[in-house]
Amino acid sequence: KAGVTQTPRYLIKTRGQQVTLSCSPISGHRSVSWYQQTPGQGLQFLFEYFSETQRNKGNFPGRFSGRQFSNSRSEMNVSTLELGDSALYLCASSLGGSGGVYEQYFGPGTRLTVT
Amino acid sequence: AQKVTQAQTEISVVEKEDVTLDCVYETRDTTYYLFWYKQPPSGELVFLIRRNSFDEQNEISGRYSWNFQKSTSSFNFTITASQVVDSAVYFCALSEATAAGNKLTFGGGTRVLVKP
């Protein structure tokens, strides 16, 4: 079974621009979560989507948004980029569903650099 | 609010030594899940184990073992007879079952360096 894939793997953007990152989950997984990893703040939860609905959200400004499509693929968007948005963005997929907490499988990440 | 603390930021050992990584968590929930992930230099987080709060049995998987102690809110991880390939950053994480969906709260990670 193919793992979680993320595109692009590397991205360089300028302050003020916007960016869209893409994630394809493991086949059969309906939950997709996004995390930001920085040296200063570590791994932080951004949001989770399940069946095209945002089910959970972390403490990030509204510039960070996401969506999920009917095939479970997900995108996250960051508008008006700031230098502090430079980070490794990790996508994780899991079976999802209600009544349980499932292990999440992570993709290789997208390394975003904002200049 | 939930919190995970990994007090050891970096551990350096020589190959074949055992290494234990500490993880202490805080949560108000009675039902929760604990995880360990490995992040090698390539950057991808690799799932190692999931344990729910009702299962306090220790677990062993090859050279890896986990010690879950609810009384001290700890979920420690031991690598026995370490190898160079074990060099990575290891993260402990917590997810509360009462929260909608899946949300992992990670500790700061422990970098393990295994020298030949």
Mean pLDDT value across chain A: 94
Instruction: Take residue A79 and report the two structure tokens written for it.
Output: 């508008």
pLDDT above 70 coverage of chain B, percent? 97
If 0-12 CB within 10 Å is exposed, 13-18 middle and 19+ buried, where does residue B20 land?
middle
pLDDT tops 70 at residue A99 = no
**Contact across the interface for B100 and A56, Cβ inside 8 Å:** yes
pLDDT category at A100 given cuts 50, 70, 90 is low
pLDDT category at A68 given cuts 50, 70, 90 is very high
Q: Cα(B47)–Cα(B58) distance, rounded to whole angstroms?
A: 17
Q: What is the 3-state secondary structure (H, E, C) of A15-83?
A: CCCCEEEEEECCCCCCEEEEEEEECCCEEEEEEEEECCEEEEECCCCCCEEEEECCCCCEEEEECCCCH
Q: Which of the pair, B56 or B33, is modelled with greater confidence?
A: B33
Counted residue by residue, chain B has a size of 116
pLDDT tops 90 at residue A70 = yes
Interface of B with A (CB under 8 A): 32-33, 35, 37, 42-47, 50, 52, 91, 93, 95, 97, 99-109
In terms of CA atoms, which chain B residue is nearest residue A90? B44
The answer to whether B61 touches B36, Cβ cutoff 8 Å, is: no
Q: Cα(A15)–Cα(A17) distance, rounded to whole angstroms?
A: 6
Which of A21-30, A61-70, A84-93, B99-108 is least confident?
B99-108
Q: Is A101 left (phi over 0), alpha (psi -120 to 50) or beta?
A: beta
pLDDT category at B99 given cuts 50, 70, 90 is low
Q: Cα(B6)–Cα(B90) distance, rounded to whole angstroms?
A: 9
pLDDT tops 80 at residue B26 = yes
Phi, psi of A83 (to 5 degrees): -55, -35
Residue A100: its chain B contacts at CB < 8 A?
97
pLDDT tops 80 at residue B20 = yes
pLDDT of residue B100: 62
